[in-house]
């Protein structure tokens, strides 16, 4: 998914601006003069603009290098859709990444805060408008009995509403879904009967179409994008096209064009007042000229031309959207890395990774892979099987991939061949404690761990009285161990075969990788009195690097 960042927000707003600029102009290019066709097209533009982030979240195959102008904006890897057969621009590393990151950290909260404040302020303004509408409805006078032009309009429009007259408005408005209300200005009492009928028909058609719900939806979008002029422009075009659709229907059902035009002109004369949002107003700002011009000319489009124009405009719009997200793609969200502690119960790919260095580690594909001959184990810990793992009774092997750093420590484990979550967890926990001979650089090793919970449980454990050491080698502390200056004990568990040789050592109480390595190397050379069968013994090794050679 695209990451929620300032860069992605800026890119998305550019996408919207470009898409709206193209979308608003397409009806003129393809001759979509019919208001219904333009209204449908503008709605498609709005839906595509809002859905652009979802389209951009589809990752394409890697492609060619990004253009130079794009490198100024991009500063991180991203994923975006590409056109069929066209390479996706790849990101280039930013020359001033840290500076860009610091600026983003500072500017991010400021920008987000400003957007949220504007959104809340806009919603409060809309809520205040709704409250004012309810107050106007309570103060308006009911038409009882209704004049003849109003009754005729109800029949012609095939709709009804609570129609009232208010002296506080200059233009008719309608609002409400379950309880639709129409407020007519007091000045309409002086209009001719045909003009009153036409204006009332207009408002009743809005009620029948339930345009108030669409108006509320538009206001919500306007509130979210209060800072984007392209969205305001598109919503104004949608409102104009909707009013023109109703204008044409009024002329068709009343059969009189001139009285309706005269009513439009009369209602445009009063001084402008603040818009009553979220009501659907009879006459919006700067719409009179366009509505009159369309009413004065006959707009006729054949069905073939209408469908062809809509298909062509929609196809062109989708191509423009694809070009926008391909040319200037959004950045992909970073992949979540698992923590080194607390293996997950639902994933066999358990791996330790240090939080401070997770993002800086090289990708697995770039690391050298050790061959079996190069994989020399210094100390090995056998899996400790949980009751859940024992209950499963699974025997066999688990194949894992271990990431080994330059100290021979396992820093990550990935299960390649699973035998179930419980068994995988026991193997991964054990391999994390293994120590290897130091590689030249951080490397990968493929390990095969054989397991048999029953055999592991059956191995006898020798008591201290039964543990007779034949020969003992003291740890040789490396300069690294001496530098640590740690004193104390390391507790290990040694596996002794029937010849008295140590075949495996597991650290039970650690004092650090360097000290553990010295102790394990020494214990591996110890010799014991041969036990009757392969056995386990717990050993305590005291050490003082300063007192040793």
pLDDT tens digits for range 508-547 = 888 877 788 888 888 999 999 998 888 888 888 887 766 5
| Residue 168 pLDDT level (bands cut at 50, 70, 90) | confident
Q: What is the pLDDT of residue 87?
A: 47
| Least confident range of 22-26, 76-80, 432-436 | 76-80
Q: What is the mean pLDDT of residues 153-157?
A: 92
Sheet holding 173-175, edge to edge: 141-142, 162-166, 181-185, 173-175, 280-281
Tell which residue, 158, 290, 278, has the closest CA to residue 212: 278
Q: How far is residue 193 from each of residues 68, 174, 263, 265, measured CA to CA in Å?
A: 67, 20, 11, 16
Q: What is the pLDDT of residue 111?
A: 83
| pLDDT, the chain, mean | 77
Q: What is the pLDDT of residues 304-326, one digit of tens each?
A: 888 888 899 899 988 988 888 88
Q: What is the pLDDT of residue 337?
A: 38
* Selected residue with higher pLDDT from 488 and 307: 307
Alpha-carbon gap, residue 499 to 534, rounded angstroms: 9
CATH of 464-547, one of 3.40.50.720, 3.30.2420.10, 3.90.226.10, 3.40.1160.10: 3.30.2420.10
Q: What is the pLDDT of residue 40?
A: 92
Q: What is the mean pLDDT of residues 29-33?
A: 86
Residue with tokens 């130091």: 438
Domain 358-458 in CATH 3.30.2420.10? The answer is yes
Q: What is the mean pLDDT of residues 231-253?
A: 90
Q: What is the pLDDT of residue 33?
A: 84
Q: What is the pLDDT of residue 110?
A: 84
* Selected residue with higher pLDDT from 53 and 279: 53
| pLDDT score of 466 more than 60 | yes
Q: What is the pLDDT of residues 87-111, one digit of tens each?
A: 444 444 444 444 455 555 667 788 8
Q: What is the pLDDT of residue 208?
A: 93
| pLDDT score of 340 more than 50 | no
Q: What is the pLDDT of residue 105?
A: 64
Q: What is the pLDDT of residue 67?
A: 41
* Selected residue with higher pLDDT from 175 and 460: 175
Q: What is the pLDDT of residue 93?
A: 43
Q: What is the pLDDT of residue 56?
A: 62
* DSSP string across 31-71: T--SHHHHHHHHHHHHHHHHHHHHHHTS-----SBPPHHHH
Specify the pairing of strand 173-175 against strand 141-142. Answer: unpaired
Q: What is the pLDDT of residue 46?
A: 93
Q: What is the pLDDT of residue 513?
A: 78
CB 267 within 8 A of CB 57: no
Q: What is the pLDDT of residue 117?
A: 93
| pLDDT score of 175 more than 60 | yes
Tell which residue, 519, 541, 521, 517, has the closest CA to residue 467: 541
pTM score, whole prediction = 0.54
Rg for the chain (alpha carbons), in Å?
Answer: 39
Q: What is the pLDDT of residues 43-63, one digit of tens each?
A: 999 999 898 887 664 434 333
Q: What percent of the chain has pLDDT over 90?
A: 20
Half-sphere exposure at residue 145, Cβ-oriented, CA atoms within 13 angstroms: 4
Q: Count the residues in the chain.
A: 549
Q: What is the mean pLDDT of residues 410-415?
A: 91
| Residue 293 pLDDT level (bands cut at 50, 70, 90) | confident
| Residue 343 pLDDT level (bands cut at 50, 70, 90) | very low
Q: What is the pLDDT of residue 336?
A: 40
Give ranges for CATH 3.30.2420.10 in the chain.
358-458, 464-547
Q: What is the pLDDT of residue 322?
A: 86
Contact partners, residue 260, CB within 8 Å, separation at least 6:
195, 198, 199, 202, 247, 250, 251, 254, 295
Q: What is the pLDDT of residues 371-394, one digit of tens each?
A: 877 778 877 777 877 777 677 777
Q: What is the pLDDT of residue 80?
A: 39
Q: What is the pLDDT of residue 129?
A: 85
Alpha-carbon gap, residue 285 to 280, rounded angstroms: 12
Q: What is the pLDDT of residue 59?
A: 39
Q: What is the pLDDT of residue 402?
A: 92
Q: What is the mean pLDDT of residues 465-481?
A: 83
Q: What is the pLDDT of residue 279?
A: 54
CB 91 within 8 A of CB 74: yes
Alpha-carbon gap, residue 185 to 170, rounded angstroms: 5
């Amino acid at each position: 998914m695209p990451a929620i960042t300032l860069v992605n927000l800026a890119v998305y707003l550019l996408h919207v601006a470009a898409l709206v600029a193209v979308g608003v102009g397409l009806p003129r290019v393809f001759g979509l003069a019919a208001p219904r066709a333009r209204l449908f097209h503008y709605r498609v533009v709005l839906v595509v603009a809002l859905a652009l982030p979802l389209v951009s979240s589809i990752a394409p195959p890697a492609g060619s290098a990004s253009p130079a102008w794009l490198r100024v904006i991009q500063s991180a890897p991203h994923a975006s859709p590409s056109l069929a057969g066209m390479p996706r621009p790849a990101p280039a590393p930013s020359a001033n990444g840290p500076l860009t990151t610091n600026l983003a950290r500072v500017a991010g909260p400021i920008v987000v805060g400003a957007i949220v404040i504007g959104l809340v302020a806009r919603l409060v303004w809309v809520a205040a408008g709704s409250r004012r509408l309810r107050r106007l409805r309570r103060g308006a006078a009911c038409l009882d009995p209704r004049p003849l032009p109003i009754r005729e309009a109800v029949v012609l429009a095939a709709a009804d509403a609570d129609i009232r007259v208010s002296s506080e408005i200059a233009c008719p408005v309608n609002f409400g879904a379950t309880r639709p209300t129409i407020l007519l200005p007091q000045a309409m009492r002086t209009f001719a009967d045909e003009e009153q009928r036409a204006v009332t028909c207009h408002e009743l058609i809005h009620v029948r179409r339930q345009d108030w719900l669409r108006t509320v939806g538009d206001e919500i979008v306007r509130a979210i994008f209060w800072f984007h002029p392209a969205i305001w422009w598109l919503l104004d075009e949608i409102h104009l096209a909707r009013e023109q659709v109703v204008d044409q229907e009024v002329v068709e059902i009343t059969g009189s064009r001139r009285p309706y035009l005269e009513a439009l002109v009369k209602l445009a004369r009063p001084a402008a007042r603040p818009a009553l949002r979220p009501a659907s107003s009879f006459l919006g700002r700067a719409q009179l000229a366009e509505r009159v011009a369309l009413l004065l000319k006959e707009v006729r489009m054949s069905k073939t031309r209408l469908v062809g124009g809509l298909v062509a405009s929609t196809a062109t719009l989708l191509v423009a959207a694809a070009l926008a997200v391909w040319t200037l793609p959004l950045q992909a969200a970073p992949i979540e890395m698992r923590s080194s502690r607390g293996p997950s119960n639902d994933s066999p790919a358990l791996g330790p990774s240090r939080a401070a260095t997770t993002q800086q580690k090289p990708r697995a594909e770039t690391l050298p892979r050790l061959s079996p001959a190069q994989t020399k184990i210094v100390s090995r810990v056998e899996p400790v099987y949980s009751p859940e793992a024992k209950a499963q009774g699974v025997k066999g092997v688990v194949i894992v991939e271990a990431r080994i750093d330059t100290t021979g420590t396992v820093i990550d484990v990935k299960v390649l061949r699973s035998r179930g979550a419980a068994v995988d967890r026991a193997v991964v926990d054990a391999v994390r404690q293994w120590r290897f001979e130091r590689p030249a650089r951080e490397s990968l090793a493929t390990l095969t761990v054989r397991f048999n919970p029953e055999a592991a449980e059956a191995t006898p454990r020798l008591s201290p009285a039964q543990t007779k050491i034949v020969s003992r080698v003291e740890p040789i502390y490396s300069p690294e161990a001496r530098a640590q200056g740690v004193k104390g004990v390391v507790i290990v568990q040694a596996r002794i075969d029937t010849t008295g040789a140590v075949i495996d050592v597991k650290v039970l109480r650690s004092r650090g990788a360097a000290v553990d390595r010295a102790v394990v190397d020494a214990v591996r050379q110890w010799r014991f009195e041969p036990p009757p069968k392969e056995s386990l013994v717990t050993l305590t090794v005291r050490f003082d690097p300063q007192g040793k050679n």
